[in-house]
Chains A and B, each alone.
Chain A
């Protein structure tokens, strides 16, 4: 909303600079987005009067105007079609800086000789002055402009562009802002007069209106003005409308717009002669009822739409836009003025359903206001104000009385505030006098009582223009914001003990981040909304096939909630490969996968860590990095990472070969609870087809994902207990075993690890080749035998080793590899 300070001064005085005023308003909740100075750069621009207008001696299209500047007469050449003798105009003298209407740039006016005649200045259009877009003709000033007066004194203004919060429709009016300024400065507000001569015949409500849908229009007021003359509105009104950003049309329409800007109540003027039956019917539309609105659009309405109709059908969409068929025209004389209360919800729904737009913004000036829930007390105020102007500015005769259909009449609300509540909420109380004065200055009617206990009570009647005041705390905010939040003291919350620990999953996510980052991995965060093709390329075979869809997606690229993070990570990898490719990538993300759970439940949000690794294990360097295929990051890099991660988290797991649609079979594994059960994660090299589908250049990409919620379930429950360190020496042995080449080494390693008296073991070599029989592979383990109670003899170790070999033979089919 654009607030002209010149206009604002009609209602309230203030002795503040525009910057000070903007600051005070902003602090009180009415944010000023920008301050615009109109006319600050109008040097050498003044009001002139065209004394005489004659032809240019050497040019048919140009005219020669003699302009009176109050102190002298200047000869000025003008080519505008609308220039006439006797007009008050804007004269720019040589040296003035104007906007070039063609280029938009600012240029200094020089004296010019046009076809042999010197022009001593220029008569300006709006565009040249930076006042508007109009460059069709010159700007003609009203008759009260005094020749010689600097234009800045006459038309100069400061416009505050204010950002109105959803709770304050009253701030969409000059008067609402004036009340605010009055409260901030302590100055009284001058309320515009609603008195006018009611010289016409008496009317009653039923003469003008038939309100059949009070559920959509709870109050409908109207007035009748006869014998009005439609023409241009007075200059001062046009100037104010322009300052507010509204284009003047005709006096009748301009008056409705002016009152909307002044009081905040939207109004509509109907040409009575175009209302069949002379009476407005306010009703729901019938099914498929047609209506052409003023913007030329054809609507097919439903019973959820409210129409203003006559005997023949709809003449307007209630609270939103008038119909083409009842519009006021130049020949209109009798006007039915509508000032009504339309429900915010129904207005909003009709605007959405009918896709009403003006200038790219949703809704109309009127509907935007109704959607904010205008007070039901406002219609007669706006009505009377507009009727007064129609009488005084359009020569109309107002009927005696107004129509006011208000079936569910309400009394103004009274809200009670006590000093106890003030202190309870704010921590302090400014005192009865300040509270009372502040509320009064905002237009509340106030009854204040000092009670015997030293406290006070204030009963405040809410002013008719406010809809946001319903409870004591609302009054508290009014007092606090006008006094200023800065004046309220500062205290600290009482200290408590240590805060509670977060949920284990929350904690675990942070732990995972820390471990992975320490191990050289980079955290990414991507959109959880993904396109269907990405999901199809990356969901493992057993994932749900129907991801959750966004009904009003922004773009197809953000249509579905991901059911896996795999696509996010792989896409991030692909995107980063497109720039200067790196030698290696180690990326991860922690986030949710969203699994549908039927229409009556929230989806399950499962937290995963997912990561990808690709490229060389070590970067190329003068020391020598990796440059052969065997130095590429592969399955075992990811597995080692996951092993380290899970061990750090205290999660016990084992690994099994996996068959996963998007991973290379034979090079992927499930992560399972140590005790068996459903897998809670996957590690694997991404299938070449998947890489190709995602345009990933790296030939080998390893991916891992762990369901952190499930991992949490497999966290070792018992506290880590300290085991005493044996004082006796350990015996280091190596075991070379032969197993079938397809047998998992993990099972062999587990048997050795868990065997009594084996305190450390490691798989140090896996070998297939000339010295190993076909179909077999050799596994070499290094292990340490140790007893907590005594030194083991070689014989004791030999015996134990034989027992271990027996067990390995029985359970894993492993035999001792004969020494070659």
Chain B
């Protein structure tokens, strides 16, 4: 046996043993130069001796040399990868943080609860073809009352305590008021266009009314109006059922009872079963099991006539509701005055 093969075997075992002990990148580099360095490395030095071997030994020694070289290269790469990983991991450990500390927050905004509720109401009617229209808050007596079958001195006017503007016309009358409901838009819309009509009118309304937990002098309403040939009371019921299911959940029961509004005939009051007590009676529903949420009815033929529609040809329905009441019922708000006091402690809960 030649001494070269012995030395090769010796280099392999010594180098690998030394490599095992290396734990940092500088030592690894030193190891590489020592054993594999192109000029001074111990393995290349040995390989220089290869051509000096007798021809019959040269083949076997050459194969061994290749194997040793590959073994050292592989071992080096392996060791390098291990050390690399260890160093990243060490750096990350040093940078460890308390993940339970609060993050950097971006200020959060929010819509007013009335806006949120109005949007939900509108979204519930949209699939049924209703378009949003808005109208003036300062309204003529004519549109707010007269055109809706509520002439001057009519007892029904007591239902709408009115704030009047301090403007007199030539007859000494005050013709302008703050609209007491969104219903004047029924007439304005019908005057402006021909059937078919399917509109929703959200908007602010005003009452000359002392405020308490359930009364505000300024609040919002959503009016709905549908006019066409062949629209019936059954369609009114169906439309409001569909709304109630979308708005309040598919299991909602709905109650329609007779009520009076001068601009509809027949008139309807719609209630849903109380979701606080599932209709058994509780404080929220005044023990009745029902929550009244909407007034509605078939548009009075006189109103159709007044806007120039033929009541024998066209029929339709109208409805109106208050978003605050709906929001109060859903969120358990006990006082309507919270809505427009603009206390952030209230608003930020929505």
Contacts and interface: CB of A to CB of B under 8 A. Distances in A.
A529 B156 CA distance: 26
A558 B217 contact: yes
A101 B111 CA distance: 54
Contact of B266 (A473, A497, A553, A576): A473
A490 B239 CA distance: 9
Contacts of A485: 237, 256-258, 268
Contacts of B163: 529, 550-554
Interface size class of B (residues with CB under 8 A): 35 or more
Nearest to B130: A499
Nearest to A524: B342
B208 interface: yes
B272 to A, nearest CB: 14
Nearest to B300: A473
A491 interface: yes
B14 interface: no
A474 B138 CA distance: 32
B234 A426 contact: yes
Interface residues of A, number: 94
B258 A550 contact: no
A425 B257 contact: no
Contacts of B166: 548-551
A576 B342 contact: yes
A690 interface: no
Interface in A573-620: 575-576, 579, 582, 584-587, 591-592, 594, 599-600, 602-603, 605, 619
B110 A517 contact: yes
Nearest to A167: B260
Contacts of B198: 493, 496, 499
Contacts of A527: 217-218, 340
A28 interface: yes
A525 B112 contact: yes
A485 B271 CA distance: 12
Interface stretch (A128-136, A342-350, A452-460, A676-684): A342-350
A344 B126 CA distance: 43
A553 B256 CA distance: 36
B210 A554 contact: yes
B238 A491 contact: yes
Interface stretch (B17-25, B37-45, B67-75, B99-107): B99-107
Interface string B133-150: 110111110000000000
A486 B255 CA distance: 7
B344 A619 contact: no
B226 interface: yes
Interface string A526-551: 11110000000000000000001111
A135 B173 CA distance: 51
Interface centre among B134, B154, B255, B258 (most CB of A within 10 A): B258
A165 B233 contact: no
Contact of B345 (A520, A579, A602, A605): A579
Contacts of B114: 525
Interface in B256-298: 256-260, 262, 265-268, 298
Contact of A167 (B112, B156, B301): B156
B250 interface: no
B167 to A, nearest CB: 5
B153 A524 contact: no
Contact of A488 (B106, B111, B234, B255): B234
Contacts of B178: 550
Nearest to B242: A492
Contact of B155 (A371, A558, A575): A371
A769 to B, nearest CB: 32
Given A27-B258, A522-B109, A528 B298 contact: no
B177 to A, nearest CB: 9
B109 A521 contact: yes
Contacts of A621: 102, 104-105
B107 A576 contact: no
Interface stretch (A144-152, A296-304, A476-484): A476-484
Contacts of A552: 163-164, 208
B259 A29 contact: yes
A603 B242 contact: no
Contact of B167 (A474, A526, A528, A548): A548
Given A517-B110, A602-B139, A28 B238 contact: no
B288 to A, nearest CB: 9
B102 to A, nearest CB: 7
B342 A477 contact: no
Nearest to B347: A522
Interface stretch (A106-114, A211-219, A501-509, A773-781): A501-509
A473 B301 contact: yes
A425 B298 contact: yes
A510 B154 CA distance: 39
A427 interface: yes
A166 B260 contact: yes
Contacts of A498: 129
Contacts of B168: 599
B153 A348 contact: yes
Contacts of B335: none
Interface in B83-119: 101-102, 104-112, 114-115, 119
Contacts of B339: 525
B174 interface: yes
Given A493-B226, A496-B129, A525 B238 contact: no
Contact of A27 (B231, B257, B298): B257
Interface in B26-74: none
A689 to B, nearest CB: 24
A500 interface: yes
A529 B218 CA distance: 9
Interface string B166-210: 111100001010100000000000000000101000001010111
A518 B178 CA distance: 33
B165 A29 contact: no
B234 A490 contact: yes
Nearest to A500: B131
Given A425-B233, A425-B315, A599-B167, A516 B109 contact: yes
A585 B347 CA distance: 13
A30 B202 CA distance: 29
Nearest to B341: A575
A622 interface: yes
B232 A424 contact: yes
A803 interface: no
A332 to B, nearest CB: 34
A492 B315 CA distance: 15
A490 B238 contact: yes
A390 interface: no
B334 interface: no
B251 interface: no
B152 interface: yes
A480 B112 CA distance: 40
B234 A575 contact: no
B137 A605 contact: yes
Given A522-B347, A602-B176, A477 B266 contact: yes
A424 B119 CA distance: 33
30 contacts: A27-B258, A29-B267, A167-B260, A344-B154, A345-B152, A423-B232, A425-B233, A427-B232, A477-B265, A481-B258, A486-B256, A490-B241, A491-B237, A492-B238, A492-B239, A493-B239, A499-B131, A506-B132, A506-B134, A517-B110, A518-B109, A520-B107, A520-B109, A521-B109, A527-B218, A529-B163, A552-B208, A554-B163, A575-B341, A582-B344
Interface of A: 26-29, 31, 165-168, 344-345, 348-349, 371-373, 423-428, 471, 473-474, 476-477, 480-481, 485-486, 488-493, 495-503, 505-506, 510, 513, 516-529, 548-554, 558, 561, 572, 575-576, 579, 582, 584-587, 591-592, 594, 599-600, 602-603, 605, 619, 621-623
Given A491-B237, A526-B342, 13 more contacts: A27-B258, A425-B232, A473-B301, A481-B258, A485-B256, A486-B255, A499-B131, A517-B111, A523-B347, A527-B340, A554-B209, A605-B136, A623-B104
